[in-house]
Structures are given as C-alpha cells and as structure tokens.
Amino acid sequence: MKKINVMVVDDSAVVRQVVTGLLNKAPDIQVLHAVADPILAMERMKTVWPDVIVLDVEMPRMDGITFLRKIMAERPTPVVICSTLTAKAAKTTMEAMAAGAVSIITKPKLELKQFLNDSSDELVAAVRAAAVANVRRLAGRATPLQPVAKLTADAILPASDGRAMTQTTERVVAIGTSTGGTQALEVVLTSLPRVSPGIVIVQHMPEKFTAAFAERLNSVCEITVKEAQTGDRVAPGRALIAPGGKHMLLRRNGAQYFVEVMDGPLVNRHRPSVDVLFRSVAKCAGSNALGVIMTGMGDDGAAGLLEMRNAGAYTVAQDEASCVVYGMPKEAVKRGGVERTVTLEMIGREIVQQMNSFLA
C-alpha cells in the first residue's frame, strides 16, 4: 500500500513532534519532514515533494499564507491548515482557504499537546481527505470525523409528514457542501444577482470560523451574506450560513421562512449537518425549494436531498470534474436524490433559471 507522504510546517517544536507521532501511527501515512518554517520547507521540497502539507499560518521568515500561495502557483499540493483558534486567526485562515487550502484543523493556545492527541482521528481524516482532493480546482480558483456512532437527521427532527405549504410567494435555495466548499460557494454566490431567492447554507466548518467566512463572502457578493442567528428571515437577496458547531433548520411562519440555530448531537458526524438542513427544508418548503449539493467528502446531505426531491423540490448536484472531492454529490446521485448534475460554474445560473420559472 502506497503511503501518503506528509510534510509538517510549524514553528512549534511541540506541534511538530506530536503531529508527526500521530500521523506516523496511521498505517497509510508517513511524515517525510517536520520543519520550523516555509524557508526550510522549500529547501527540503527540492529533493522530495510531499503528497500533503500540514501548515501553520503565523510563522517566522515567511507566513503560511504567502507560502501557500507560492505552492499553489508553482505546484498545486493539498494543504491542511493547522491554526490557533482566535478571532484574528479565523480571518487569517479564511484567507488561507481562499488561497487554496483544503481544510482546517483548529488548535488552542493552551493544553496544545493534549488537544492534538485528542484530535488524532480528525487530523488523520483531514490528511486522508486532502490526499484525494482535486487540488488543481482549488489552485485555479485561488471534517472532522469523530469516533462516535453515526447519527441521522432523526436525532434532530422527524421526517417530513408531506404537509409543506404547496405554494408561497418566496423561493428557498438550500446548499450543502464540505471539502472545497469555501471556494466553490464563492464561485456560486458571486455569480448571483442582487435580486435572488433566499439561501440557506451548511458548509462543514469549525466553530468561530463561519462568521469570518460569511463576512468575506459578503464583501465580494451582490447579495447579503451573514452567519445565521435564530429568527433570521430567509429573504430575497440574502444568504444565511449555519454557524460552525450548530445545526440550522428552516422554519415557517405563515408564508415566510426563517431559520432556527440549535445545539444537538453530531449528525453524519457533523454539526452543522447538511441532512438536518435539507430535511427541515423538505418539511417546511416542499416544492417551493431548490436543493444543491456540492463538493465534499462523505455522504452528509444525500439522504436529505432525496427527501427534498420526494417533497417536490428541484435538486441539483455539482459534477465530478468540478468537485474538489466528489463524495457527497456522488452519494446523492447514487440514492436518486439528484434531478440534474451541472458544473460548478453553472450552479448560479441554475438557481436564477429556476427562480424565473417559479415566478413565471
């Protein structure tokens, strides 16, 4: 079995030591080098190029984002960001994701060694996902798995009873995505005109990172983008992103839609879960909704998208060629939940066309 060759770049000797030990315990992973900064990394990479890089952001001599951009420009390589979780670092890490990083592992400033040991499964899963990512898609546009039982959306809310309102004056677009989704969502949302249907989004992302991500999207989109709060109305020209570490559900008050943000167990090993959002949309919006499933590892959202389609919603999946990881869309297609498969660049147009046909 060919092993995944990893390079760890972090100025903390403790992080280098612990991460190297954890990754080397996995039978399919080996750490080639663990270095203190990007300058040393580039020297080592002249002889052996890694399959995956685990990268810190704030380092001496060259920061991680500059190094990431350089790598993506010269030789696109899967990168997992391992960053300290602070308000400032959240924005910095969003820049790294925009530059082409595949995923994020958060680390605290205190009790770092214990945290890394406790998060070994998450770290190994992130490296494995990065190793199979279509990183050239990320460069061109320059989840944490837990060792617990895999719950379904039943853990949060029951399945639809088929009594969703048959017609309203508003349309709801529900989008679910994971690995590669930060860049993919930017492509979709920046293509939408200011007058667009209300959008609800689950992007698998750690707690405290979604606010910075929403702010960044809001700065480049014609529509308004914000991190969701309970009671926020799903209104035309607005996209609501589920907060990291919370589930988001669609609710209805008369003919209007709003969201509820809530705690709860991991569903499909994720919180927020795409399946939870999609099931709530099937229950509350039915045929008034459009469901979109995009790039991501695993199967979260596949069951929920089928429920949406069975409730009368129009459903779309991102195609394999434009996905960073063709996991979630593939499973949704396999289960029969997808009505149409399109390229990433066509998803925005699909949303607009469906809105126009609904209003016609």
Residues known to be catalytic: 178, 204, 300
Local structure of residue 246 (DSSP, 8 states): S
- Inter-axis angle of helices 181-190 and 87-99, nearest 10: 80
304 in the Ramachandran plot: left (φ > 0), alpha (ψ -120 to 50) or beta?
alpha
**Residues 351, 345 contacting (CB under 8 angstroms):** no
- The set of residues, in sequence order, having a beta carbon less than 8 Å from that of 57 and lying 6+ positions away, is 63, 64, 65, 81, 83, 84, 89, 92, 93, 96
3-state SS class at 331:
helix
CA-to-CA dists, residue 140 to 54, 101, 134, 153, angstroms? 20, 12, 11, 35
| DSSP conformational letter for 250 | E
* Distance (Å, whole) CA 296 – CA 264: 22
Exposure of 41 in the CB half-sphere (CA atoms within 13 A): 30
Which residue is listed with tokens 């129009």? Answer: 314
DSSP 197: -
Phi, psi (rounded to 5 degrees) for 150: -85, 110
Report the b/e string of 152-175 with b at 16+ CB within 10 A: ebebbbebbeeebeeebebbbbbb
Backbone angles phi, psi at 6, to 5 degrees: -120, 145
